[in-house]
Structure 1
């Protein structure tokens, strides 16, 4: 794609709704979905409450579905569309934060994939040592970086095959878990609080799925064939992510009856491995590794698009070299220099999630309030006269700061992170809600000013 252009060329719009479905299906088929299900139960919810929370959390993928639909209608990627809400210069900060978030999680997933490959090696009697870890890192990172050389239609085909291969294998793992689950114990789980348990559980799922993926959604939606109905883009994105996530989380709810410590385990993959028969060990770790690759493909691709949208213009080879260096240096540092870095880095990335929750809320508000007749291309061109859209910028800054006040973790303790806001992701929801409130206030003032101007003219 020509980075100087705003709209995707018609010849580059090669994706069908079905390819879009498999793209998001592959990204959410990873067995980490089982852990999400166990996390839901850890909020002391009943079986039906847990299943309902899993369903609502999975349906947070309506947000990426909505963003992808806008991208398909306009033929424009996510953070170029975002310029309309923030201005060409005002958009650079959330754009840069999104880039850090994307490339950061790719690095974390590369590290996780490396550790899983090393564990897989052990099942075939290859010991864990510095050399085997280096080989595993080279293999996994090489696969991820190689995806950066491929075009959208090829990536879509790869995602389709990954969906089928790892989807079937993951289903087999799910059947084992369902066979071993203590169904009676699951049905007799006591009901928990709808306010203190149910809402926080949904917030964690939505933060880690729908809200996180929203910044990449139009990067794929923009490449859908122009004659595709917008709702086909919406539903294939939404269901492609929501279906596997819901099924796996439901399995995780039952799995927690076998392994109650799964939600809090430092190595959840090892906990699940202990539940499975020994002969299935190699395949299990292969599935775990395979489930991470589609996520890395999507994140790396969007990270490269985001970097160019910020205004850093480099060739495809230079861009791939920069991103490749980052996603290999961070895992190298964690594996061979300082393992303590990882937890702090993940906390930092979770902080950025609050920034992105308010960003997507403002992006969608702007679309509903001001773009009913479509986006004005002049607002998104690099030489646009609208450098700053202050209603979007002010709403974003204030909503993000307020969201942080309701957030706590190991390195930050917000003054209002008490009661139901303690030790969960509800601060992300607060950030999004406050962003909507501020956008409505600015919209009301603009309507009043416009109405007043008409009366003066009369």
Structure 2
């Protein structure tokens, strides 16, 4: 216990893995979730998302801002709701998921979640390396070469490893103070980017159809909050049970929604006059070209810092998810394995792949479906007042309370598979019209064309699980691991 308490100090290595946090080691407040999700979303990757709304979906600026508002605030409110499980159970999201899917049945959702995290980290690492390359050229006049690419990747990965390896307490501290610093620097950069907007084209742009607005909301939600939905509990697990759930949800929605609304809206403004940003293979260079030359250094520092804030969170969650998969290593070593894969992915994107955002969009499209299916099931299960048995979560043997049928909770696993199938029927993943990776038979219907396969996966998963696993009476052996009154309050917060 003393080791656990020591590891909760800023600057010390967190020794706790995925085992539930006991009540006497809980600390913090809901406001920490504001800084957590603000940090995850101050990277300039939000600009190309906004540019896509105008360049490819035909929205005007007012529609793009509405889409950004609903897509970002709404999807991260969902992240907040899912984080309530972490507050109740004290464990990472995919560890708690064992209670829903069974010790073996949880392997599928956990593997998909881990792939999602590694993919996000690779995208972020690649973009940060582009920023470092541009910074070196600006300051020292050094041109890009393969060796320099590798060095820039390693520098960013080393910074990520330092923060993620230390763990939760250090991450929470850095989220607040570094985010303030890089956030202010981003505001300065944003001020100069606004000055480059072609306002005549912005004001004269016609409105897009309602279907494009709906599809845009889905695109922003899938590219932002849905990608983090299976990680929210990872950061809420240290919070005391007494923290009001409504505050946690609000903090999550506003923490991510504020920077995303600004960045996505600005990307839309910039793309209204010039679609270069939406199609750039190197988004950092594209944005840099819109700024005065003397602003390049502050901009590139802000870009690097913002990407680092997002990446250390993703890497931390990926380490926990890897352990949940059954990799028996200490948490810091799991993080180390993860950054190695991140490095290899960065090498692929920067030295082998010819297109950056094509694979990015395809990756988001495909993984959003199984993650969304998981979200729908967990929402229903959490809404029923799920309480967690700490010992059973960590017991992967046949005697575990969460072993169910041969390690599978059949209603949840069947609902997840069904939801994935339905979602993919309406999904197309492609890098271009001539490079289609996957296309479901209904991908060109209204729902499919507007990219709502992930939304159908949520609805199908929730409905199939609700019908397939009807709620029965609570049994006497259910562990009373909630505070008095927590069960009633939590159900109200989840359904609100």
Rounded Cα–Cα distance in structure 1 between residues aligned with 2:18 and 2:85: 20
**Residue 137 (str. 1) matches residue 157 (str. 2):** no
CA distance in 2, matches of 1:335, 1:50: 30
Cα RMSD (Å): 2.4
For structure 1, the residue ranges without an aligned partner over 5 or more in a row are 449-458
In the alignment, the residues of structure 2 paired with residue 274 and residue 324 of structure 1 have an alpha-carbon distance, to the nearest angstrom, of 30
Structure (1/2) with the larger helix percentage: 1
- Pairing 1:99–2:119 present: no
Quote the residue 1:452 is aligned against.
Answer: none
Post-superposition, which runs of at least 4 consecutive aligned residues in structure 1 deviate over 6 A? none
| Cα deviation 1:342-387 (Å, max 9, x = unaligned) | 655873464222110111111111111352xx34556634222423
Output the TM-score relative to the length of structure 2. Answer: 0.83
Deviates more, 1:201-210 or 1:314-323: 314-323
Structure 2 equivalent of residue 194 of structure 1: 210
Equivalent in the alignment of 1:56: 70
C-alpha displacement at 1:314, in angstroms? 1.1
Q: Which residue of 1 aligns with 2:185?
A: 169
Change (3 A) 1:388 1:255: same
Measure the CA separation in 1 of the matches of 2:461 and 2:447.
Answer: 18
State yes or no: 1:76 paired with 2:91: yes
* Deviation readout 1:37-93 (Å, 9 max, x if unpaired): 222223122332222111111121111111112211332220122122211211111
Verify: 1:394 aligned to 2:414, yes or no: yes
Residues 1:47 and 1:433: Cα distance change in structure 2 (over 3 Å):
same
* Contact residue 69 and residue 231 of structure 1 kept, 8 A: no
**Residue deviations 1:23-44, cap 9 Å, x none?**
2101101122122222222312
Distance 1:424 1:147, change over 3 A: farther
Aligned to 1:45: 59
Whole-angstrom distance in 2 between the partners of 1:285 and 1:114: 11
Unmatched runs of 5 consecutive residues or more in structure 2:
1-14, 431-435, 474-496
CA distance change for structure 1 residues 341 and 393 in 2, over 3 Å: closer, same or farther?
farther
Cα distance in 2, alignment partners of residues 48 and 335 from structure 1? 35
Structure 2 equivalent of residue 455 of structure 1: none
Q: Which secondary structure does the structure 2 equivalent of 1:380 belong to? A: helix
Change (3 A) 1:253 1:152: same
Secondary structure of the 2:91 match is coil
Could you tell me which of 434, 453, 463 is aligned with 1:427?
Answer: 453
3-state SS of paired residue (2:207):
coil
1:33-432 to structure 2, matched below 5 A, reads 33-42=46-55, 43-59=57-73, 60-124=75-139, 125-195=141-211, 197-336=212-351, 338-340=352-354, 347-348=362-363, 350-369=365-384, 371=386, 374-377=387-390, 380-382=393-395, 383-384=400-401, 385-386=403-404, 387-408=407-428, 409=430, 410-421=436-447, 425-432=451-458
Structure 1 partner of 2:4: none
TM-score by length of 1: 0.90
